[in-house]
């Protein structure tokens, strides 16, 4: 199963990161291929769109928050054969700088969704991680720098 892990130094206090994560629609502006998201209590629904050659597909993941504390949350989701689980953690480096680490494990399953997900991971991962960094910076109005190589 592919695991994507990336850490960023965000030149903003942890409270700004927390505010960003409190609104599911913010994820739509930051995460590539995510076209809609909603959160109710500890569950969420996300709608994704991907393309493989001429085939374009939308699919839905239903998930739940598995753990949540100040500066940390874990999640799991599944839908149409795809399963994901991951964590996001953010901790203060100093009062104005935060370390944000996101890790996502993906089991793409089989079928067309698996083909699309595998293609995105194999061919677009670096581009997508740069997109996330750029969109974090825009949303937070702060500098965001990667601190680990994506794995």
What pLDDT score was predicted for residue 20?
87
Confidence bin at 149 (pLDDT 50/70/90): low
**Average pLDDT, stretch 130-148?**
92
Look up residue 108 and give its DSSP letter.
Answer: -
What pLDDT score was predicted for residue 59?
93
Q: Are 82 and 61 in contact (CB under 8 A)?
A: yes
CA-CA distance, 54 to 108, in Å (whole number)? 20
Q: Are 38 and 44 in contact (CB under 8 A)?
A: yes
Q: Which domains does the chain have, with CATH numbers?
A: 3-146 (3.30.530.20)
Give the percent of the chain with pLDDT over 70.
Answer: 97
**Average pLDDT, stretch 131-144?**
94
Q: What is the pLDDT of residues 13-44, one digit of tens each?
A: 999 998 888 888 888 999 999 999 998 888 99
CB-based contacts of 12, cutoff 8 Å, min separation 6:
96, 97, 98, 140, 141, 142
Q: Across all residues in the chain, what is the average pLDDT?
A: 91
């Amino acid at each position: 199963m592919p695991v994507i892990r990336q850490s960023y130094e965000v030149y903003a206090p942890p409270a700004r990161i927390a505010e960003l994560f409190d609104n599911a629609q913010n994820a739509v502006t930051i995460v590539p291929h995510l076209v809609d998201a909603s959160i109710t209590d500890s569950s969420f629904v996300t709608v994704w769109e991907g393309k493989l050659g001429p085939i374009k597909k939308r699919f839905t993941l239903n998930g739940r928050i598995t753990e949540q504390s100040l500066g940390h949350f874990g999640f799991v989701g599944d839908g149409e054969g795809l399963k994901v689980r991951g964590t996001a953690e953010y901790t203060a480096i100093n009062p104005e700088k935060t370390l944000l680490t996101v890790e996502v494990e993906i089991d793409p399953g089989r079928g067309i969704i698996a083909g699309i997900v595998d293609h995105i991971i194999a061919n677009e991962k670096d581009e997508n991680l740069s997109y996330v960094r750029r969109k974090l910076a825009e949303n937070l109005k702060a500098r965001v720098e990667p601190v680990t190589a994506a794995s």
